[in-house]
């Protein structure tokens, strides 16, 4: 009797393996039906980092990016193409939120992830007290490494943008330089005799006048000509005021 049961068991087992060989997917159908493909959180984070570094490449200094924690329990359908974007009203600067969307025929979802973008750069500061009207030179400037996201938006990082400019007011040592603190040097001074030049196609007319206002290169200046008429033109170097014909 024992031998008979053993033979029947082998026969049943043989039939089972034959069925599997005829239908190889049978053992995985039930399993795959319960395993829905979910989006890897690491890939979302990586997509955000690539997006941020690509879109901040032109910022001065060293860009450092931190992507906030994304809940590992978040179950999102797997996406073939993640699309990071900047939500309306946000910018790629300091603490901000970045969106990631997935849009396809079968999948559509959007999430928002907190990020922090820091930009370390050498910021131009006043090295010593400067009086109003003083032309800025190299000795007047000191570099201090700072996080631009924590500084006023308009600070200078390029020394070539300030050398030769003139202080518009008294500047204390230690201040970061900003555009409103400086102006271009005047090439025309109030009361100065100037040469009026009218340049046209095939002709040039020159006369003299007296400047009524100060002006830097390219700025509009008022001039009284020899007949007493007040006219306007563009200030140029060498005491020239260019009049449009």
Looking at residue 133, which CATH number applies to its domain? 3.90.1210.10
What confidence tens digit (pLDDT) does each residue in 76-119 have?
999 989 999 999 999 999 999 999 999 888 889 999 999 999 99
Q: Do residues 158 and 191 both lie within one domain?
A: no
**Is residue 179 located within the same domain as residue 190?**
no
Residues 223 and 175 in one domain: no
Predicted confidence (pLDDT) per residue in 205-245, tens digit = 899 999 999 999 999 999 999 999 999 999 999 999 999 87
Residue 36 has pLDDT above 80, yes or no: no
Last residue of a domain, one of 183, 203, 229: 183
- Look at 54 and 29; give whichever has higher pLDDT: 54
State yes or no: pLDDT of 25 exceeds 70.
no
Q: pLDDT above 90 covers what percent of the chain?
A: 73
pLDDT score, position 245: 75
Task: Name, in order, each residue with C-beta under 8 angstroms of 220's C-beta and a sequence gap of 6 or more.
Answer: 232, 233, 234, 235
pLDDT tens digit sequence for 99-108: 999 988 888 9
Answer whether residue 2 shows pLDDT above 80: no
pTM above 0.85, yes or no: no
- Domain extent, residue 137, equals 37-183
Residues 91 and 159 in one domain: yes
Are residue 56 and residue 175 in the same domain, yes or no? yes
Same domain for 190 and 70?
A: no
Mean pLDDT of 53-66: 94
* Tally of domains within the chain: 2
């Amino acid at each position: 009797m024992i031998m008979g049961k053993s033979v029947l068991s082998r026969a049943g087992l043989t039939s089972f393996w034959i069925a599997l060989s005829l239908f190889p997917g049978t053992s995985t159908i039930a399993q795959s039906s319960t395993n829905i493909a979910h989006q890897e959180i690491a890939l979302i984070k990586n997509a955000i980092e690539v997006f941020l570094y690509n879109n901040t490449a032109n910022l001065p200094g060293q860009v450092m990016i931190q992507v906030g924690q994304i809940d590992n329990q978040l179950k999102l359908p797997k996406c073939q193409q993640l699309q990071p974007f900047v939500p309306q009203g946000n910018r790629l600067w300091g603490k901000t939120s970045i969106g990631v969307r997935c849009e396809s025929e079968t999948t559509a979802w959007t999430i928002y992830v907190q990020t922090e973008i820091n930009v370390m750069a050498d910021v131009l500061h006043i090295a010593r007290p400067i009086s109003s009207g003083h032309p800025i030179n190299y000795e007047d400037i000191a570099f201090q490494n700072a996080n631009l996201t924590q500084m006023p938006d308009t600070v200078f990082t390029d020394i070539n943008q300030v050398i030769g400019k003139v202080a518009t007011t008294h500047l204390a040592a230690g201040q970061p330089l900003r555009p409103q603190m400086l102006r271009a040097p005047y090439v025309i001074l109030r009361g100065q005799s100037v040469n009026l030049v009218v340049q046209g196609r095939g002709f040039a007319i020159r006369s003299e006048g007296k400047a009524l206002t100060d002006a830097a290169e390219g700025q509009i200046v008022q001039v009284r000509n020899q007949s007493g008429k007040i006219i306007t033109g563009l200030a140029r170097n060498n005491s020239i005021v260019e009049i449009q014909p």
